Structure 1
Amino acid sequence: MNSMVSFSAASKDYQSGRYVKSLETLNALLETQKDSKTYGLLAKTLLQLGMKADAARAFALAGEAGGSSGIEFTRRAAALHHECGNEEDALLLGLRLMAQGHLDADIAYILASIYQERGRDDLLSPFRKILAESGNVEHTRLAVRLLRNDPNDQSQAFLARSLFKRFPDIVSMRMLYLIFARAVCDLTSVKRHQRLVDELLAKGEHDILQHDTEFYVLQWCGDEALNRLAKGRHRPISEAHVAERRSRPHNWSSKIRIGYLSNDLFDDHATMKLLRRVLELHDRDRFEVTLYCHTDEKGIARNKADRSRWGNIVRIVGMTDEEAATLMREHEIDVLVDLKGPTFETRYSILNHSVAPVHVSWLGFPGSAIDTDLDYIIGDRYVLPETSKPHYHEKFIRLPDTYQPNDPVHRPRPRAAGRAEFGLPEDKFVFASFNGSRKITPATVDVWCNILRRAPDSVLWVLAMSPAAEANLKQYFKQQGIPTKRVIFCPRADYQTHIDRQQAADLALDTWPYNGHTTTSEQLWGGLPVLTLKGTNFASRVSESLLNAIGLPELVAPDVQRYEDLAVELYENPERIEALKQTIEDNRHIKPLFDAERFCRHIETAYEMAVARAKQGLVPDHIDVPARPVRNEPFSVEDTIATPAETGGYKLFDFG
């Protein structure tokens, strides 16, 4: 067969719409001629015949064969593989183009889509700018989702503002703009744009929540029913998928094998400031503990603790979700506990790869992880009351005191500290807020302003997370008629100083609808009473949980007006403040909040109860863990646990 004649005939048949005949000719021709031009025409022919997956493979072969159109053929192959759901092939081709210096918006879209679906936030930075500047609407929408990952990144903030200026009428752009405005406390803008969002919701246009995420919606919305409507990161999972995972044969052992999944596994992180002691206290005769660690090198370098005391540490950095899940299955994990949820640099998508008989969400995310294969969420009767059950696909494991662990051993003890070293007036009542900037809402600050007006001999001491946040808050307070000298800003501080400075204030004012979580327990540990508002979802109920666990339920106001009134009453009665501080001092080492041993035994009971159901083949159901007897004597704050070196215990494994 004359190859030139055959290619010409195949091309003519293709142009005339005789695709089957063209395909027959090309198949014969490929026995002797495997060049870019022939594979390219084959791919186009297969595409016309509706054979997209085959066309993708043919385009890839055309690209490999080189020639002047090789790059374009590879681009088309990557796009078709992605369209067909062949993610690995699309990823391989996209990365090849990127390595060759041919990254454009289309390839960036493919790579970023795959990485975001897999929860690989750490790999997204090369794609944000190119997608944000693309004229393609789908690219822009993805850019919106990617830019939400780090609202403190100024380059991302600039891109977010640029997108909103270009597309002011697109809801997702407004939602993105609000995320960055909240991060820097631009409360005037937040109030204006939030009003428009609230008006749409009042009209029943709940689909706008699909343009927000399940994490960021908690910053402004305390309605559990609406929280549930936010955009999840994962594709929906089927009931059949979940049932298949639960029914898989499993090799149970005499010890329960717990796997904790997180990248926060260094002692300087807020999560480990809470969890560290509980990990050390796990009963090694009943539990085998493995930490699946995707902490980056920067986090590892910051760590000063002996991580081997926490459990077997298995590094999964660089592994795909499926590779990590396969490894966990090989380890025969009984209970996989995700400590991140849909937060920054999470790998919780691993849960959707059928890892263990029991999947649990705990500590990292205060809400339901939408479209994630989870059996349980760990909470307590305050953060997860009966009324919350319809708004979760997860069943509740409710601990008897509080869902939040605390570490009374490694957390620094508060030292005596005077107001002068923090620039505070000696003769004023000091209200304080050390919560993150994005938690400070216009509604919260408006009430703080009312309190300051009614408490004229007081100041407000506020943590400023950035210069921009400080400037915006100063401006907002000024607009509300509060003199500049009555709002005192403090920077971030080392942890010991942060604990010490709590006692320099009289009363902490909590934020809503997202409370202080670790911050509230730090304030109580430092001896500072916290006034909070009774919440309506997990994120807004945490301080209530912690205050009850330390024995201060009277500091939970039932409504906004009572919150304001109680703050003023305490200002007017300083002896009540002294009594509250004395209660914290008396209760710190005997009440449940900081009792890590009591907490550890409760959560171990929770794991045992969940495993017992799974062993019997029962589907998950709500579990209320019974309380241990109350203490009559203070618990120990001394570190008396033997190290792994002394016991021949835990090891570090690095799989990537």
Structure 2
Amino acid sequence: MNSKVSFSAASRDYQAGRYTQSLATLNQLMDIQQDAKTYALLAKNLVQLGFKADAAKAYGLAGNCEGPNAYEYQKQAAKLYYETGSEDEALLIAMRNLTRAQEDAELAFIITAIYLKRQQRDIIRPFKTVLSESMNPDHMRLAALLLSDDLNDATNQTLARNLFKRFPGNHAFRFLHLVFAREFNDFEEAAKHQAVIDGTLAKGDLDILRKDNPFYHLHWCGNENFNRYATIGTTPLNQDRVASRRNQPHTWSNKIRIGYMSSDFWDRHATMKLLQRILELHDKDRFEVTLFCHTGPEYLKHNDTDRSRWGRIVDIHGFSDQAVLAIVREHNIDIMVDLKGHTSGSRAAAFNQPLAPVHVGWLGFPGSTVNIDLDYVIGDHFVLPEVAKPFYHEKFCRLPESYQPNDPMHRPKPRPVTREQLGLPEDAFIFASFNGNRKITHEVVNSWCRILKRAPNSVLWLMANSPRNQANLSKHFQTAGISPKRIIFCPRAPYDQHIDRQQAADLGIDTFPVNGHTTTSEQLWGGLPVLTFKGTNFASRVSESLLQAIDLPELVAGDLQAYEDLAVELAQNPGRIAEYKARLKEKRYIAPLFDAERFCNHLEQAYEIMADRARQGLAPEHMDIPALPPRTAPFASE
């Protein structure tokens, strides 16, 4: 056979769409000619005939041959392996070309998509910029998912800036840009772009919200109806799969097997500052506890606690969703609890697989975990009132006092501290806010300005995350006519020092629409009363829940005006503040808020009801857990 003539014939057949004939000619040719162009043409024919996996192998062989097109052939092989689900083979090729992938969005997309799914974010950090500069919508959407918790990370800022600059009419990138504006309290920039969103909503177009991230959406929108529309990065629930999961065969035992899934299983994370005592207190005769941990090694190296006290640890860091499914099913879990929801580092999407007969959302995300297959959301009567039911696909499991667990054993006790030690004025009334700066919206800071003007002998003690936050906040206060001397900034502090310093203030003032959550319970633990007002969604009702559970309901104002009026009134009545502080000290070890044993008993009642319904084949239903009798003696002492 004349190889030159045969290859030309195979090429002509391919160009004419005669793929089967071209493939037959190439198969004969392969006996005498195995070079890059032959393998590449073979791959093209296989693609046209629908044999993508075989085509990937052929492109791989073409890429292994020396020649000017070797890299392009390898890239085509990687793309086809990725499309056919052969992720390991795709990565093998892509990682051999790692340096070039930092400049090639197509290869960067493959590496990023796979490692993002496996929660191995460190590897994909170099690809943020090239993906954000691509014109391919899929690349841009993936780039938008690469934001990490650290919004101070310059690569995150560059990514957001590139996306919005290139596509200013894209609402998803506008929302992304707004995340950074709010993070750094750039109120002018936030107001300018929020006006576009508000104008669209005023016309009744709620679809714009589908471009917003469910977590960051809560930081500006307290409308519980609107909250369920923020769904970017999620896919609609498949109700047939939900029904199939609930009805799948399951082997029950005399103990209820609880599985908790989180990336926060290390002792310095806020979640574990709340939860670890509950995990230790679970009744080992009635429950088996397994922690499915996807905590990154960069965090675990800072953990000083023996995590085996919390339960059996199963490492799923970097596992695919399918691998997570296999390992969870291997442990035959009865109730799987997602502790993350739509927060950074979440693996909530894994719950759209049949992990267990009962799926539960709790603690990490203050709202409905949209588009995730959860049977129940754990809350209480304050964060989940009756009016909220239409806005959740989950059934309500309401604990009798507060949904938030608290750890009175491992949390440091507040030690005496003076204002002089902290550089605070002795004779002023001190309002304080230690909430994350992104929670300080334009509306919040304007409210604080009004309070300060009406309470002339007061100052605001304010935590600033960065010099940029401090500069933007200072500018706004000065523009509003508040003297710089009345705003006292402080940085973050080591945890024990932070617990100590809070008591030097007179009154914590809450943020909205996202309240302090762990921050509020820390202030109450540290002896600082917190003022809030009734919210309109889960995230804005948390401080009310905590204040009720520590027996300070009078610090929950009816609305924003009442919040401001009460702040001013209290600034003029230091005696009432002294009474509140005395009550906090009295109630710390007898009220429900910090009573971990009582909380655990209520939570275990809930788990038993959930398991019993599932064992009987009953569908999930709303449930209210009855309260144990009130304590008559403290559960601990000073």
Bucket of the pairwise TM-score, normalised by the shorter protein: over 0.9
Q: What is the alpha-carbon distance in structure 1 between the residues aligned to residue 138 and residue 355 of structure 2?
A: 33
Q: What is the alpha-carbon distance in structure 2 between the residues aligned to residue 32 and residue 387 of structure 1?
A: 76
Please say if residues 118 and 318 of structure 2, whose CA atoms lie closer than 8 Å, have aligned partners that are also in contact.
Answer: no
Q: Which string of whole-angstrom CA distances, capped at 9 and with x for unpartnered residues, describes residues 72-123 of structure 1?
A: 1222233345456665554454344327867611111233234445555454
Amino acid at match of 1:191: A
Match of 2:329 in 1: 329
Match of 1:306 in 2: 306
Match of 1:203 in 2: 203
Amino acid at match of 2:113: S
| Structure 2 residue 390 is the aligned partner of structure 1 residue 410 | no
Q: Which string of whole-angstrom CA distances, capped at 9 and with x for unpartnered residues, describes residues 111-168 of structure 1?
A: 3234445555454312112212334444334323323653221332234234433333
Match of 1:18 in 2: 18
- Say which is worse superposed, 474-483 or 191-200, in terms of deviation: 191-200
Q: Which string of whole-angstrom CA distances, capped at 9 and with x for unpartnered residues, describes residues 488-523 of structure 1?
A: 011111112111111111111100011100000000
Amino acid at match of 2:423: G
Offset at residue 566 of structure 1 (A): 1.0
Please say if residues 544 and 553 of structure 2, whose CA atoms lie closer than 8 Å, have aligned partners that are also in contact.
Answer: yes
Match of 2:318 in 1: 318
C-alpha spacing 1:230/1:123, structure 2 compared with 1 (3 Å): farther
| Structure 2 residue 520 is the aligned partner of structure 1 residue 520 | yes
Offset at residue 172 of structure 1 (A): 2.4
Offset at residue 67 of structure 1 (A): 4.3
Q: How does 1:150-229 map to 2 (within 5 A)?
A: 150-229=150-229
SS in 2 for 1:426: coil
Match of 1:268 in 2: 268
SS in 2 for 1:452: helix
Q: How does 1:475-494 map to 2 (within 5 A)?
A: 475-494=475-494
| Structure 2 residue 252 is the aligned partner of structure 1 residue 252 | yes
Q: What is the alpha-carbon distance in structure 2 between the residues aligned to residue 241 and residue 122 of structure 1?
A: 33
Q: Which string of whole-angstrom CA distances, capped at 9 and with x for unpartnered residues, describes residues 320-363 of structure 1?
A: 23223211211111111111122122222322332111111111
Offset at residue 226 of structure 1 (A): 1.4
Q: What is the alpha-carbon distance in structure 2 between the residues aligned to residue 102 and residue 270 of structure 1?
A: 35
SS in 1 for 2:257: strand
Q: TM-score, length-normalised on structure 1? A: 0.92
Match of 1:452 in 2: 452
Amino acid at match of 2:424: L
Match of 2:557 in 1: 557
Amino acid at match of 2:345: E
| Structure 2 residue 583 is the aligned partner of structure 1 residue 599 | no
Q: How does 1:545-584 map to 2 (within 5 A)?
A: 545-584=545-584
Q: How does 1:418-433 map to 2 (within 5 A)?
A: 418-433=418-433
Offset at residue 191 of structure 1 (A): 2.1
Point out where structure 1 has 5 or more consecutive residues left out of the alignment: 639-656
Amino acid at match of 1:10: A
C-alpha spacing 1:235/1:123, structure 2 compared with 1 (3 Å): farther
Match of 1:502 in 2: 502
Offset at residue 206 of structure 1 (A): 2.1
Please say if residues 97 and 103 of structure 1, whose CA atoms lie closer than 8 Å, have aligned partners that are also in contact.
Answer: no
Aligned-pair identity in percent equals 58
Q: Which string of whole-angstrom CA distances, capped at 9 and with x for unpartnered residues, describes residues 424-475 of structure 1?
A: 1111110010000111100011000000000011000001111111111111
Match of 2:278 in 1: 278
Please say if residues 46 and 55 of structure 1, whose CA atoms lie closer than 8 Å, have aligned partners that are also in contact.
Answer: yes
Match of 2:242 in 1: 242
Amino acid at match of 1:5: V
Offset at residue 525 of structure 1 (A): 0.5
Q: What is the alpha-carbon distance in structure 2 between the residues aligned to residue 192 and residue 78 of structure 1?
A: 43
Q: Which string of whole-angstrom CA distances, capped at 9 and with x for unpartnered residues, describes residues 269-304 of structure 1?
A: 111110011111111111111112222223222122
Amino acid at match of 1:157: Q
Amino acid at match of 1:491: P
Point out where structure 2 has 5 or more consecutive residues left out of the alignment: none
Please say if residues 148 and 344 of structure 2, whose CA atoms lie closer than 8 Å, have aligned partners that are also in contact.
Answer: no
Please say if residues 117 and 234 of structure 1, whose CA atoms lie closer than 8 Å, have aligned partners that are also in contact.
Answer: no
C-alpha spacing 1:595/1:235, structure 2 compared with 1 (3 Å): same
Q: What is the alpha-carbon distance in structure 2 between the residues aligned to residue 452 and residue 340 of structure 1?
A: 37
Please say if residues 524 and 530 of structure 1, whose CA atoms lie closer than 8 Å, have aligned partners that are also in contact.
Answer: yes
Amino acid at match of 1:304: D
TM-align CA RMSD: 2.2
Count of paired positions: 638
Q: What is the alpha-carbon distance in structure 2 between the residues aligned to residue 4 and residue 487 of structure 1?
A: 82
SS in 1 for 2:432: strand
Q: Which string of whole-angstrom CA distances, capped at 9 and with x for unpartnered residues, describes residues 366-396 of structure 1?
A: 1222222222111111111122222222222
Please say if residues 507 and 530 of structure 2, whose CA atoms lie closer than 8 Å, have aligned partners that are also in contact.
Answer: yes
- Say which is worse superposed, 176-185 or 346-355, in terms of deviation: 346-355
Please say if residues 10 and 26 of structure 2, whose CA atoms lie closer than 8 Å, have aligned partners that are also in contact.
Answer: yes
If asked which structure has higher relative contact order (CA below 8 Å, sep 6+), I would say 1
Amino acid at match of 1:393: H
- Say which is worse superposed, 466-475 or 54-63, in terms of deviation: 54-63
| Structure 2 residue 416 is the aligned partner of structure 1 residue 434 | no
C-alpha spacing 1:386/1:103, structure 2 compared with 1 (3 Å): same
Please say if residues 433 and 461 of structure 1, whose CA atoms lie closer than 8 Å, have aligned partners that are also in contact.
Answer: yes
SS in 1 for 2:292: strand
Please say if residues 119 and 349 of structure 1, whose CA atoms lie closer than 8 Å, have aligned partners that are also in contact.
Answer: no
Amino acid at match of 1:16: A
C-alpha spacing 1:247/1:94, structure 2 compared with 1 (3 Å): farther
Offset at residue 592 of structure 1 (A): 0.5
Amino acid at match of 1:408: P
Match of 1:44 in 2: 44
Please say if residues 337 and 359 of structure 2, whose CA atoms lie closer than 8 Å, have aligned partners that are also in contact.
Answer: yes
- Say which is worse superposed, 587-596 or 146-155, in terms of deviation: 146-155
Q: What is the alpha-carbon distance in structure 1 between the residues aligned to residue 87 and residue 341 of structure 2?
A: 23
Match of 1:470 in 2: 470
Please say if residues 118 and 349 of structure 1, whose CA atoms lie closer than 8 Å, have aligned partners that are also in contact.
Answer: no
C-alpha spacing 1:153/1:12, structure 2 compared with 1 (3 Å): same
Please say if residues 143 and 159 of structure 2, whose CA atoms lie closer than 8 Å, have aligned partners that are also in contact.
Answer: no
Q: What is the alpha-carbon distance in structure 2 between the residues aligned to residue 495 and residue 474 of structure 1?
A: 26
Amino acid at match of 1:303: N
Match of 1:357 in 2: 357
Q: Which string of whole-angstrom CA distances, capped at 9 and with x for unpartnered residues, describes residues 250-279 of structure 1?
A: 221111111111121121111111001111
Match of 1:627 in 2: 627
Q: TM-score, length-normalised on structure 2? A: 0.95
Q: What is the alpha-carbon distance in structure 2 between the residues aligned to residue 261 and residue 300 of structure 1?
A: 15
- Say which is worse superposed, 122-131 or 24-33, in terms of deviation: 24-33
